[in-house]
A and B are shown apart, each in its own frame.
Chain A
Amino acid sequence: MSGPSTYEPKTGFTKWLDARLPIVRLGWDSFVDFPTPRNLNYWYTFGGILSVCLVIQIITGIVLAMHYVPHIDHAFASVQRIDRDVNFGWLIRSIHAVGASMFFLAVYMHIFRGLYYGSYKAPRELLWILGVVIYLLMMAAAFLGYVLPWGQMSYWGAMVITNLLGAFPIIGGPITEWLWGGFSVGNATLNRFFSLHYLIPFLIAGVVALHIWALHVPGNNNPTGIEVKSNRDTLPFHPYYTSKDGFAIALFMVIFAFFVFYWPDALGHSDNFIPADPLVTPALIVPEWYLLPFYAILRAVPDKLGGVLLMFGSIGILFVLPWLDTSKVRSMRYRPLARWFFGFFVIACLGLGWAGAELPDTLVPGLGALGVDFLLLGRVLTVYYFAYFLVILPLLGFVEKPSERPASIEASVLGGSSKSAPAAAPAE
């Protein structure tokens, strides 16, 4: 997709610069003239939204680090001080905390978009894998950041998650002590978690650069899943997609601002307003909403090590997805069976999130009469989650008869076949 560069420096300075550091050319080729399929819908705007989220988190995070104290005796109070005493601290902390949830909301849309339109398939496997790496780093950053306010949920979340590593035989014990820097979650742990929480966003930014690089080699996938065949299939990124992304970002910011200004604590947990107490565990420990599905998978297995392995496996499986889906058709728009299974998959993920938020013994509303509790619900949905990747997608490629696809991207937008209409009208 990266054709010959069309950038032409006009002024003396840009000519001088272009011969020495062609950075303006890089920007022009990547974000102005970059040929982009003309049929991208709003599901394709989450990439841009995610870039904005990352920048927001880094800027607000750097500011918060100027006021936060990573010590077990001061951390909780310093966060309260940011909220009450620091000028606009309430605003910046709220943007950072809500921003984490918004980041995950956007990344889930982005991932489901990729799953539906087959964006993980050749030649975009590495692009997809880099995306999964970013997602893993995001989860690490979110977990570490949640520990920093040093409330009850911070402390016990850290306790439960670090204890997961203890499940591994022989190395488990030494590794958890190494991670804690003591015999339990304590000051050493908080200090290093702060350091790592500051590090990870910059790692994410680095992998994002690779992600965009890997995107710009084959170019964007699109809702038809058909490769770009001619320049009639594409539009320059600017102004077409800068304005489309810009509009989506504006809408997203409205939702973002609603939470920041009107409901800042809705996505957190009230127990985190109690300072951490190593002697008392809250009655119900739950992770943040965006990690609940994995928590449900962890609890679905009665064995500690088995649960931990399955939970890591549920993300690890995404790395090999490009080779599990055997269908030659990319987009599920033309896969009549796969789209149903995908729909159930989305429901299963939401259901796992619900199961993760409730106590395992609680009966599921509506299904309680059948004796279905959240543990059973979690188990059934865990089976479906793995079956989707390990059984359904590998088999569907052989049994499914895909529906008819348009001849080209241009034809899918303008109707008819691009071959029979060589002088097609402009898109708008």
Chain B
Amino acid sequence: MTEATQTNGAHGEEPSRRDFIYIATGGTLAVGGAFTIWPFIDQMNPAADVLALASTEVNISELEEGQEITVIYRESPHFVRRRTAAEVESARDVNVASLPDRDARNFNLGDGAPATDENRSALTAEIAEGVEIDDALRASLLVTSANCTHLGCVPTEGAGDYNAWFCPCHGSHYDTSGRIRRGPAPENLSIPIMTFISASVLRLG
């Protein structure tokens, strides 16, 4: 260390070589520490095999009007319901502005799409090339997550104020479009990415 740098360091006018070494050491430790810690944090995220299972195919040809099945998609249950005309109509009659959650919560649409029944039904699903499918059938199909947006319980079918889904855990009521209407749940039941890969098979994810 030269006399000049020592003098400068002592008077605090210019950074000395020692200051530089401190900062360089500290910086290396911080960056190196972050690189060391990251693998230990990231290992908890979904593994490659879990991510690889991220789509589910649903046969919709045997679904009767008014019938509902529950399928597992990405480890979570999802409702697939072919709604009756009355159910669709009552869902369409709702003024979106009056809803607790006005967002469609539909991964087929972007954020901020209004929560109309059209925006929630399978009308928003992609149709693979060359597949012919009836519009009325698409409008009647509703696929939603079966985990209540409050704390994740599975709502019971055909119950609650709207005769659609009712979550027994903390009393959230959903309507025939899977939209939250009353209770502590903050959001509408979410709608996964959907594609009609044939006239009878709907792929989730």
**Residues in chain A within 8 A of chain B (CB atoms):** 156, 159-160, 162-164, 177-184, 186, 188, 192, 278-281, 283-285, 299, 302-305, 307, 360-361
Contact B46 A160 (CB under 8 A): no
Contact B184 A304 (CB under 8 A): yes
Q: How far is the CA of A164 from the CA of B170 in the complex (A)?
A: 13
Of B16-24, B71-79, B80-88, B131-139, the segment with at least 4 beta carbons within 8 Å of chain A is B71-79
Q: How far is the CA of A186 from the CA of B74 in the complex (A)?
A: 10
Of B90-98, B117-125, B150-158, the segment with at least 4 beta carbons within 8 Å of chain A is B150-158
Q: What 14 new A-B contacts, CB under 8 Å, besides A182-B50, A183-B75? A: A159-B151, A164-B151, A178-B41, A182-B75, A184-B75, A184-B76, A188-B47, A279-B154, A280-B154, A281-B168, A281-B169, A299-B170, A304-B150, A304-B184
CB proximity of A58 to chain B, nearest CB, Å? 25
Contact B154 A183 (CB under 8 A): no
Q: How far is the CA of A229 from the CA of B185 in the complex (A)?
A: 58
Q: Using a CB-CB cutoff of 8 Å, which residues 1-57 of chain B contact chain A?
A: 41, 44-47, 50, 54
CB proximity of A11 to chain B, nearest CB, Å? 48
B171 within 8 Å of A by Cβ? yes
Q: How far is the CA of A302 from the CA of B170 in the complex (A)?
A: 10
Tally of B interface residues using CB under 8 Å:
28
Which 8 pairs across A and B sit closest by C-beta, in order of nearness? A183-B74, A184-B75, A163-B152, A281-B153, A160-B151, A184-B76, A163-B151, A159-B152
**Residues in chain B within 8 A of chain A (CB atoms):** 41, 44-47, 50, 54, 70, 72, 74-77, 146-147, 150-154, 167-171, 184-186
Q: How far is the CA of A177 from the CA of B46 in the complex (A)?
A: 7
Q: How far is the CA of A26 from the CA of B92 in the complex (A)?
A: 76
Residue of B45, B154, B185 near A181 (CB, 8 A) is B45
Contacting residues, chain B, for A180 (C-beta < 8 A): 46
**Given A156-B153, A159-B151, A177-B46: A183 in contact with B171 (beta carbons within 8 A):** no
Q: How far is the CA of A163 from the CA of B54 in the complex (A)?
A: 20
Q: How far is the CA of A184 from the CA of B153 in the complex (A)?
A: 12
Contact A188 B46 (CB under 8 A): yes
List 21 A-B pairs, Cβ < 8 Å.
A156-B153, A160-B153, A164-B151, A177-B45, A178-B41, A181-B47, A183-B46, A183-B54, A184-B74, A184-B147, A188-B50, A192-B44, A278-B154, A279-B72, A279-B77, A283-B168, A285-B169, A302-B184, A303-B184, A304-B151, A304-B186
